[in-house]
Amino acid sequence: MMNHDVSPPVLAEAPPAPRPARRLFWPRIGFAGTLGGSIILFWLVMALFGGHFAPHDATEMLDADVFEPINWLYPFGTDYLGRDILSRVLAGARQTVGIALAATVLAALGGLLAGLAAAVIGGWFDAILSRTLDAMISIPSKLFGLILVAAFGSSILVLIPTLAVIYLPGCYRLVRAAAVNVAKLDFVLVARARGEGSFYIMTREVLPNIVGPVLADFGLRFVYVVLLLSSLSFLGLGVQPPDADWGSLVRENIGGLPYGAPAVIMPAVAIASLTISINMLIDSLFGRNTDRKGAH
Amino acid sequence: GGLGTAFAAETPKKGGRIRVAGFSSSTADTLDPAKQALSTDYVRSTMFYNGLTSLDERMAPQLELAESIEHDGATVWTIKLRRGVQFHDGKTLTADDVVYSLNRHKDPAVGSKAKTLADQMEEIKATGPLEVTIRLTGPNADLPVILGTYHFKIVKDGTTDFTTAIGTGPFTCKEFQPGVRSIATRNGNFWKGVGPWLDEVEYFGISDNGARVNALLSGDVDLIAAIDPRSSRQVLGTDGFAIAETKWGNYTNLVMRMDQAPCNNPDFVLGMKYLFDRELMKKSVFRGFAEVANDQPLASSNRYYSPDIPQRPYDPEKAKFHLKKAGALDSTLQVVASAAAKSSVEMAVVLQQAAQKIGMKIDIKQVPADGYWSNYWMKVPVGFGNVNPRPTADILFNLFFKSDATWNESAWKDGRFDQLLAASRAETDEAKRTQMYHDMQLLIHENSGIGIPVFINNLDAHSSRLKGLRPMSSGGLMGYGFAEYVWLDT
Amino acid sequence: MTKMTQSADSGAAPLVEVRNLKVVARGEDGREFPIVKDVSFSVERGEVVALIGESGSGKTTIALAMMGHARGGCRIAGGRVRLGDSEVTALSDAGLADLRGRRVAYIAQSAAAAFNPSRTIMTQVVESALIHKTATRAEAEIKARALFKALALPDPDRVGDRYPHQVSGGQLQRLLAAMALITDPELVIFDEPTTALDVTTQIEVLKAFKAVVRDRGTTGLYVSHDLAVVTQVADHIVVLRDGAIREVGATGQIIDAPRDDYTRSLIAAAEPQPRGAALLAEPSAPLLEVNGLTAGYGGVDSAGMPYIPVLNDVGFRIHRGSTLGVIGESGCGKSTLARVIAGLMPRARGSVKLDGRILAPAIGSRSREELRRIQIVFQMADTALNPATTVGKVLSRPLAFYHGLSGPALDRRVAELLDLVKLPRKLAARKPAELSGGQKQRINLARALAAKPDLILCDEVTSALDTVVAAAILDLLAELQRELGVSYMFISHDLKTVRAICDDIMVLYAGCKVEAGSREAMAKPPHHPYTDLLTASVPEMRMGWLEGAGAHTGAFASMHGGRVVSRAGCAFYPRCPLGIEGLCDRERPPLRPTVRGTEIACHRSDGDLMGLTVHGTEIAGHRSDLDVMGRPSAGQRSPTIAATSI
Amino acid sequence: MNAVIWKLLLTRLATAAGTLLFVATTVFVITTMLPGDVAQEILGQNATPEAVAALRSAMGLDQPPLERFLSWLGGLMVGNPGVSLVNGLPVATLIGERLSNSLVLAAITAAVSVPVALLIGISSAMLRGSLYDRVVGAATIFVVSVPEFLVASLAVLVFAVKLHWLPALAQAPQGHDLLDLMRGLAMPIVTLSFVIVAQMARMTRAALIDTLSAPYIEMARLKGARPIRIVLTHALPNAIGPIANAVALSLSFLLGGVIIVETIFNYPGIAKLMVDGVATRDFPVVQACALIFCAGYLLLVMLADIAAILSNPRLRHQ
Ligand SMILES: Nc1ncnc2c1ncn2[C@@H]1O[C@H](COP(=O)(O)OP(=O)(O)OP(=O)(O)O)[C@@H](O)[C@H]1O
Ligand SMILES: Nc1ncnc2c1ncn2[C@@H]1O[C@H](COP(=O)(O)OP(=O)(O)OP(=O)(O)O)[C@@H](O)[C@H]1O
Ligand SMILES: [Mg+2]
Ligand SMILES: [Mg+2]
């Protein structure tokens, strides 16, 4: 039963065959999934056009008091410099959704490829890759951040890969653990015996069988990236003022907490709403009906 | 609670233990007076050591370990020491200790922060068991003040191990862990006779402002340093607690390198100075706990402050005019800010707003606090600096405005200023000297590439049980010397 | 529905009554389709009723319904199942829990999968007794050991302390039975308990089951696709097809006078009729030539020899358009042989030539063409299919990969392939999880065919299939051979089938080639003692055969561990009735030609071997004079005999 | 202990050595690449070129990096991680107490959060798809997605400032009895648990669901086993592998990743030490910390694998 250091529903669910797919996809998502999906959609729209819906200029210091409570003029109150939080959250959607999503996808893809390759190719390749990434995990992200700012200066183009690099090893570990067990199964042997290349085996034979765990992990990783993003921005690597991603919004307004200022609560809520819905969507896509495996 | 309540004078009571939280602590904490970098170090050194002199509320030197100080022509100084002062280990103070303590600063290997100041002491020698003679490279009337600064505290002759502190100060060092905490217990035979009142002081740093305030309000600590202005409402809102505000002339300034484009154009510099919405900064960045400044480094509390320079207003029109003239409107300006320079990021944001209004685009580049001073400060065309007040205007000007000063932040070269500076130092007639300082301030205000929008006041918070705290223009926490004077009202 | 008046105590209501049972399954598209349609039958107390039908006909599904259980994706859609006085289909979850394992117990199709790998066998065997509090742990364990004995398990006192992976498949199957019987349930369900076993083991298991059922008067529902087996154990037979009942009757009647013509075809197919020898057999140069092949698992030592040796100096040839049958009991190295030839496993010694050209040991260094020409059909049907892809995709890939097919042409070819292996085209949209064991096996075969290979290594392709489908598949293989001149290496443990379809036969024992020759030559003695054992173990479709067979097969089928043999000696020695102490246990017998033109690896002369034909008496005779040679007597050696005499 | 485990141990230790060396090198390279060095950082605003140069040579920073690295490495080999550049104290003494603090915090947090996570994971695996499952799932995600500094500050505000139940600052464990310790560390522990519980819980759930679909589980059901029994005695033992792995990963965070908690609760732990080290370019300290984190991580992962093996007889009896 070595296939038990696989985490989630490995052989369980996999994307339906292309032809029937279109018809079959929706019924499986269910309520939670649809809800999650629509919230994500909402934030995506905001990421693109958030600016237009913003009641105020997200960066202007209105002559309002700081940390104002919720009121008609400022639905989410004002921040530590008297700026409108609603507008800033909407504007922050672009930073957060854009960067964090991009970085997470990058990390996931990187980890996926590396993990699959390690599992399928194995041998030295696997050993070296694993050790290297083990080492990377244990080098603190702050150092990474610093060195990267120092080396390339701070810009989104540096930020995204940095985040990705920091989260790649974790993803790799998971993928590899799952893939190694799939790669041992006969149907992979069949593909090898057919003379298929490693890439085909990685993507067509193994990948579909570990999509579940990978995505489940993706959901969680996204949360971490969002949070790390803010702390890197704090280091100066990342989103530059006056713009701010949601994490940074929470951070810069933390002083409002004693006054129960919505300025600190609302961005946190925004983060939660996005991350939760992403995970809801993923769960409802791949977490469920793993029980179908019963038949033999 | 309320502002200033703590300043009422009452008769002190002996005894008690307090916990005090500074705003920073790191493994770089040191008990070596020469190496001191941060207020946390100053607090410790004033607990454990004494200087030859000390500085009072108005930064005027008062005799401490020195019994008398005489000079001729402000060049050769003779210092007589108090008799019978004992170090914590019982050894009595002699001239050798003083000579050793002062000479250390000149040795590069020590890495003293005061090396530049110490270098002007050409010769330091013991001219008697309790007499030290110092010959300066040139006349300097301010030597007594310099000797009152934190780095020139007196240590025992030959001390090289600073894992603990053997000084003559009001407290003895019971425990010291860099970056963790230090515990000071009352020095039974403190030479002054009066004070200190407290039995024990535990001192450590909490770098997170919120945590610091919460620690105070939850009663875990009795006194905290340098709180964020935004937390003032929270502290004042809770009874049993008070805030001590110190006007001390610390400022965060816009640094425009006049040796680089675009700042090499006077119009640009002037335009930027007009672009400061000083009132808004005071209001929204510092919640009113600041003092509008006038692009020159001396605060109104300073005894050489020049009141008759007209205040430069926030004037978008004038700004636009000059910046247009400098051709800065149609190009994007990059301003570097960092947490290292207090509140510079917020100030930059305010500036950015103002610029936007006149159609000028400013990009803020926020950079890590780590290595800011070595990598960005004075290197980028437009950035921020943060300057603590110096004991004397002379030191301040010498450090930051003299044409050949290492930290001539804006690379501002003005022969007339330099002459005035040199003259003022030798000048012993107070009236003449004052006038010279006023002129120098005007020059800075007019021509230098330094924009100083506000002076930032320091806010300490404490429980009302803690009495005897007084503001000192040399810095927060009574110029870091609170330990000797405060007492607990039980 | 025919009431079974023949049963012991007529009058009393039958123990189990199934009325209009309907089970449906949910497909990928969420739509439900019936897999068991309106099935009704009943089982009297103390009798064994067999469910028989082709793979995929719904046997397992019905069996599970007896316990009110439906596999994931399926559900009981209608009808009722009554067990004694309780309506199974109406029970609550708690009610079902009380029923299961207590009043009705289940022996799963695959014992290996049914045991929890991380717990000792004993804990799992006694578990239901503890759950239902029918006994204290101590009592339960005592009882379990008794059962182990009764089920002819070696070392009954300690086998319980082992973990599932530490006992052989046949033993697991029996342990599973013990697990079922520990609570003396009223009804025991046997789901193809012997399908996965080789004949020699199968016989023991069957005998054990039968003995136990008889002694305990247990009522049984026996699921199988093998008429011959069912004939031995069942009183009544229910014939199923496509989830519907075709015929019900007493065993004798079904065998001798089947009414339904599907039943007839089943019976007809039971005895596979020999096919004509391959067309262009002998003259041509061999397609595949294997010499001195040695291989194994667990890494190699300094000498390049594997730590877990499996194959030992095996050599043979396969001619274009002909079939080599490889036969031997479970674990003798058949699959390993196939893997080595296919290049999936390194070989330690020896060579593999295709058309005279040596094949590289590893796939990586073989050309795509070489790979295409040799295709392998894996034994484990379900692990050989990617659970994530539909059957259609599984079949399309080789077509696209080797022959560059695409679009409609591709779809057409896929459909043809499904027809070839007698599967409905609609299966193309399904995932492996929704196929029955046999269906998967056929998909595997179809995938191999898709490559248009010259040689197919068939590893137990028909073992999981019922006679009809199996026969169809065999016909298909023969047809392809005739048309395309494909060659096969046909791995099986079913001598009958091998004899029927293969031109040459090779018998493996413990990784050694013990006998080989053309089908004709192999038809008559002399045989290697092991070959004889195999022959004798093939069940015949005649009631009471089992009891008869017991006489001698039992005699030496299960003398495991009775004698020790050095690695240099003859591996079969411990079970051999003719073994010569001091010779067979020391030297490995060389392959030698026989009078019949076969090769045999045995120290005994043809004459001695001739004498060993399958009659209890002769064996007995042999044994007695063996005993003279001072070996432990059969009584001690053969647990089976002990078992049958309780 | 048996052959398999020993073999694993040996190979792991060997590779671990390699990995650690790799980490040390990388960290060293990074620290030397970072602009500004310890001399500048010490002198801060007073860093005149000559002063810096002088201090450098005084500290021996003017030697070529490779030389410094090798001498440091040599020291390490004989068990001496060098002295801090900023305050001249031996790195060992700097780390000593802080490490034990960190370990205490990590240990207690683990002791609290792992059971909780398992409980959540198991229960939601048993009731998968149910409302409970969804709610709990969402809740765990919510808990992680709230920035930890927010959680921490909120906790302090409520329990220390408003209710005065708990101290706002975490006391370092020195001679307190366990109760004090728990009181002093309650909030840091909760905060940290918030961060790590989610991942462990989700992985547990996933792993269990995976095993729950194995045939032998169906068999257990057919034996009449009740759900609880099925999960605890049949599914769990077979899911230990992946669960242990997830736990290991999460716990490895407790050594290096707790900087925020250490700052907010002013808890002198090793994470803060490292951050200070980075800020002051005090590379012996940074090195030592990085190595400790790495070693801890490798150790945890190894333990996880051992757990996986022990839980799997097939591997155990190879
Ligand atoms: N989970 C499932 N979803 C959809 N269809 C299923 C599922 N399980 C089984 N089936 C279908 O139900 C039918 C009966 O399956 P079942 O396993 O009962 O057949 P069987 O008679 O036991 O076959 P075998 O002898 O190969 O085990 C098959 O056609 C199979 O494809
Ligand atoms: N991966 C493996 N590692 C170690 N030993 C193995 C491995 N696979 C198989 N074996 C052993 O090798 C021997 C031959 O296995 P193989 O699968 O070839 O037998 P087989 O003849 O195919 O049996 P069956 O008829 O049951 O399929 C068996 O004893 C088996 O236990
Ligand atoms: Mg079946
Ligand atoms: Mg096999």
Q: Select the highest-mean-pLDDT range: A169-173, C534-538, C608-612.
A: A169-173
Q: DSSP secondary structure string, A15-59?
A: PPPHHHHHHHHHHHHHHHHHHHHHHHHHHHHHHHHHHHH-SS-TT
Give the separation between CA B115 and CA D55, rounded to whole angstroms. Answer: 12
pLDDT for residue B9: 56
What residues in A contact B231, CB-CB < 8 Å?
Answer: 255, 258
- The SS3 assignment for B124 reads strand
Q: Which of B164-168, C108-112, C639-643, D308-312 has the lowest mean pLDDT?
A: C639-643
B112 versus C547: which is more confidently predicted? B112
Contact partners, residue D158, CB within 8 Å, separation at least 6: none
Give me the total of CB pairs closer than 8 Å, taking one residue from chain A and one from chain D: 184
Q: Which of A51-60, A181-190, C157-166, C607-616 has the lowest mean pLDDT?
A: C607-616
The answer to whether the CB of A241 falls within 8 A of the CB of B345 is yes
Would you say the CB of residue C225 lies under 6 angstroms from ligand 1?
A: yes
What residues in D contact B108, CB-CB < 8 Å?
Answer: 50-51, 54-55, 58
User: C575-601, pLDDT tens digit by residue?
Assistant: 787 777 778 878 888 888 888 888 888
Task: Using a pLDDT cut of 70, give the percent of chain C over it.
Answer: 87
What residues in D contact C106, CB-CB < 8 Å?
Answer: 219, 222
What residues in C contact A189, CB-CB < 8 Å?
Answer: 344, 378, 384
User: D216-225, pLDDT tens digit by residue?
Assistant: 888 898 888 8
Give the separation between CA B387 and CA B405, rounded to whole angstroms. Answer: 15
How far apart are the two ends of chain A, measured CA to CA in Å? Answer: 17
User: A96-118, pLDDT tens digit by residue?
Assistant: 888 888 899 999 999 999 999 99
- Would the pLDDT of C221 be above 90? yes
Torsion of CA A86, A89, A91, A94, to 10 degrees: -150
> Which residue, by CA, sits nearest to atom 19 of ligand 1?
C56
User: C250-283, pLDDT tens digit by residue?
Assistant: 988 988 888 888 888 888 877 666 665 545 445 5
Confidence of residue C242 (pLDDT cuts 50, 70, 90): confident
Interface touch B370/D161, C-beta < 8 Å:
no
| Interchain CB contact of A192 with C (< 8 Å) | yes
Would you say the CB of residue A291 lies under 6 angstroms from ligand 1?
A: no
Confidence of residue B167 (pLDDT cuts 50, 70, 90): very high
Give the separation between CA B209 and CA B224, rounded to whole angstroms. Answer: 10
**pTM of the full structure:** 0.80
Q: Which of residues 2-41 of D touch A (CB under 8 A)?
A: 15, 18-19, 22-23, 26-27, 30-31, 33-35
Give the gap in angstroms from C-alpha B108 to the nearest C-alpha of chain D.
5
| Interchain CB contact of A184 with C (< 8 Å) | no
Q: Which chains touch C (3 or more CB pairs under 8 A)?
A: A, D
Give the gap in angstroms from C-alpha D225 to the nearest C-alpha of chain C.
6
Q: In the 8-state DSSP scheme, what is residue C630?
A: T
Token pair of C180 as six digits? 């079922």
For B26, which of D47, D156, D280 is closest by C-beta distance? D280
| For the CA of C33, the nearest ligand | 1
What residues in C contact D314, CB-CB < 8 Å?
Answer: 117, 163, 165
pLDDT for residue B451: 94
Instruction: Name the closest residue on chain A to residue D206, using Cα atoms.
Output: A8
- Would the pLDDT of C232 be above 80? yes
pLDDT for residue A114: 94
Would you say the CB of residue C442 lies under 6 angstroms from ligand 1?
A: no
What residues in C contact D220, CB-CB < 8 Å?
Answer: 116, 127
With the most atoms of ligand 2 within 8 angstroms of its CB, the residue from C294, C334, C462 to mutate is C334
Mean of pLDDT values over C331-336: 85
With the most atoms of ligand 2 within 8 angstroms of its CB, the residue from C171, C310, C314 to mutate is C310
Would you say the CB of residue C33 lies under 6 angstroms from ligand 2?
A: no
pLDDT for residue B173: 94
A156 versus D124: which is more confidently predicted? D124
C379 versus C404: which is more confidently predicted? C404
Confidence of residue C432 (pLDDT cuts 50, 70, 90): confident
For B231, which of A237, A241, A255 is closest by C-beta distance? A255
| Closest C-alpha among C269, D170, C150, D141 to residue A273 | D141
pLDDT for residue B20: 94
Contact partners, residue C147, CB within 8 Å, separation at least 6: C125, C177, C178, C181, C182, C212
Q: DSSP secondary structure string, chain D?
A: --HHHHHHHHHHHHHHHHHHHHHHHHHHHHHHHSSS-HHHHHHGGG--HHHHHHHHHHHTTTS-HHHHHHHHHHHHHTT---B-TTT--BHHHHHHHHHHHHHHHHHHHHHHHHHHHHHHHHHHHHTTTSHHHHHHHHHHHHHHHS-HHHHHHHHIIIIIIIS--S-SSPPP-SS--HHHHHHHHHHHHHHHHHHHHHHHHHHHHHHHHHHHTSHHHHHHHHTT--HHHIIIIIIHHHHHHHHHHHHHHHHHHHHHTTHHHHHHTT---HHHHHHHHHHTT-HHHHHHHHHHHHHHHHHHHHHHHHHHHHT-HHHHT-
pLDDT for residue C625: 33
Burial C175-212 (b: 16+ CB within 10 A, else e): bbbbbbbbbebbbbbbbbbbbbbbbbbbbbbbbbbbbb
Confidence of residue A293 (pLDDT cuts 50, 70, 90): very low
**Residue from A79, A80, A81, A235 to probe the interface with B (highest B Cβ count within 10 Å):** A81
Q: Do chains B and C touch (3 or more CB pairs under 8 A)?
A: no
Q: Which of residues 122-151 of A touch B (CB under 8 A)?
A: 146, 149-150
pLDDT for residue C613: 53
Confidence of residue C306 (pLDDT cuts 50, 70, 90): confident
Q: DSSP secondary structure string, C79-134?
A: EEEEETTEEGGG--HHHHHHHBTTTEEEE-S-HHHHS-TTS-HHHHHHHHHHHTTS
For D216, which of C97, C106, C116 is closest by C-beta distance? C116
Interface touch D141/A257, C-beta < 8 Å:
no
Give the gap in angstroms from C-alpha B208 to the nearest C-alpha of chain A.
10
Would you say the CB of residue C436 lies under 6 angstroms from ligand 1?
A: yes
Average of per-residue pLDDT values in chain A: 77
| Interchain CB contact of A128 with D (< 8 Å) | no
What residues in C contact D238, CB-CB < 8 Å?
Answer: 116-118
The ipTM is 0.77
Give the separation between CA D218 and CA D288, rounded to whole angstroms. Answer: 51
Confidence of residue B125 (pLDDT cuts 50, 70, 90): very high
Confidence of residue C561 (pLDDT cuts 50, 70, 90): very low
For D146, which of A134, A272, A287 is closest by C-beta distance? A272
Tokens 């079939």 — which residue? C323
Would you say the CB of residue C297 lies under 6 angstroms from ligand 2?
A: yes
Would you say the CB of residue C310 lies under 6 angstroms from ligand 2?
A: yes
pLDDT for residue C620: 29
Strands B466-467 and B290-292: unpaired
Instruction: Name the closest residue on chain D to residue A170, using Cα atoms.
Output: D249
